[in-house]
Amino acid sequence: MIFEETYTLVNGVTIPKLGLGTWFIDDDKAANAVCNAVQIGYRHFDTAQAYGNERGVGEGIRVCGVPREELFVTTKLAAEAKTYKDAVSAIDDSLRVMGLDYLDMMLIHSPQPWAEFREADRYVEGNREAWRALEEAYQAGKLRAIGISNFEKEDIDSLLAGCTIAPMVNQLLVHVSNTPFALMRYSENKGMLVEAYSPVAHGEMLKNPTVKAIAETYGVTIPQLCIRYTLQLGTLPLPKTANPDHMRDNAKLDFVISDADMETLKQMEPIKDYGEFSIFPVYGGKL
C-alpha cells in the first residue's frame, strides 16, 4: 500500500510518499477532510498560510484519533514574508493557528510575492532573511524539516550561497505535460526531494484524450495514471481533494506505467490554458 511507503529526507526524517493537498478546501471543511483522509489511510497533509485553512487542518490533525507523531504536516510561509521579523512572526502564527507544538515541515511558498511571481526581482536578500527564520525554527525544534516551493535554479543558487542549512524539499508544479526535468534534476542534485503539486493539472488532464486512452489500457482512472506518473519520476505527489471517494481512488496506485508509456507522457505538449484557474500565478496568470 502506498500509505506504508516513505521517502527519507537528507536530514533523516521520513515523509510519506503520498500527501493530501488542501488548496481550495475551505477552512470550515478542512478538519472533516483531514479526518476522512486519516480514516482512509493518509498520514501526510499539505497546507499553506495562503490557503486560509491552517486552522481547520490543524483541528483535523488534533482530533483525528491518530497520534500526532504518526502524521506529517507541512505548511508554507507566505510568499510576501520577505523580512526576518515577518517570517519569525508568520512561523509562530502558523503554530498558534494550527494548535500544534511543532510542524513536520515548512516551506517558503514562492521566491517572490505572488503579485510579482516570475518577475525580474528575485528577492535574494528577502529569501535569505525568511530562510534564516526557518533555520532558527528548525534548530529550535519547531520544524522537523524546511524547504522551498516554486524556486528555480537562480533562486536555489542564491539561497544556497547564503544559508547554513540547505533546503530539504522543493515543491514544484509537476504533472503530465508540465515536467520541469532540468529543475527537478538540479533540485535533486542539491539534496532536495521534489514534491509534485497539482499532479492532475488542476483537473485539466481529465480532458486529455491521449491520457484517457493510456489510463484505459491499465484499467485505471486519469488521476490514478497522473499520480502514478509523478511517483515513477521519483517525486512526491500531493493530489488535492475533499471528496473521500477521490481520496480512496487517488491512493490506488499498485500498477506500473511501462517505459514506453512514460516516454509518451513525458513528451506531451505543455498545457497552455488551465481554464478558470489560469488567473493564478503558478498557472501563468497574474493576481
199 has a pLDDT exceeding 80: yes
The pLDDT of residue 208? 95
- 51 carries an active-site annotation: yes
The pLDDT of residue 287? 67
Q: What percent of the chain has pLDDT over 70?
A: 100
Q: What is the mean pLDDT of the chain?
A: 97
- Considering only CA atoms, give the Rg of the chain: 18
- Catalytic residue of the set 51, 123, 197, 283: 51
Q: What is the mean pLDDT of residues 49-77?
A: 98
The pLDDT of residue 286? 78
Q: What is the mean pLDDT of residues 278-285?
A: 93
| d(C-alpha 51, C-alpha 165), whole Å | 27
Residue 83 is classified by DSSP as S
pLDDT one-digit tens code per residue, 211-241: 999 999 999 999 999 999 999 999 999 999 9
Q: What is the mean pLDDT of residues 93-106?
A: 98
Q: Which pLDDT band holds residue 83 (cuts at 50, 70, 90)?
A: very high
Q: For residue 161, how far is the Cα from the chain centroid? A: 24
The pLDDT of residue 90? 98
Which residues are paired to 77 by β-bridges? 108
Q: What percent of the chain has pLDDT over 90?
A: 97
Q: Which pLDDT band holds residue 160 (cuts at 50, 70, 90)?
A: very high
Cell numbers 478546501 correspond to what residue?
25
The pLDDT of residue 156? 98
Q: Which burial class, exposed, middle or buried, applies to 29 when counting CB atoms under 10 A from its CB (0-12, 13-18, 19+)?
A: middle
**CB neighbour list of residue 225: distance below 8 Å, 6 or more residues apart:** 176, 211, 214, 215, 218, 257
**CB neighbour list of residue 155: distance below 8 Å, 6 or more residues apart:** 111, 122, 127, 148
Whose CA is closest to 241, among 257, 256, 226, 220? Answer: 226
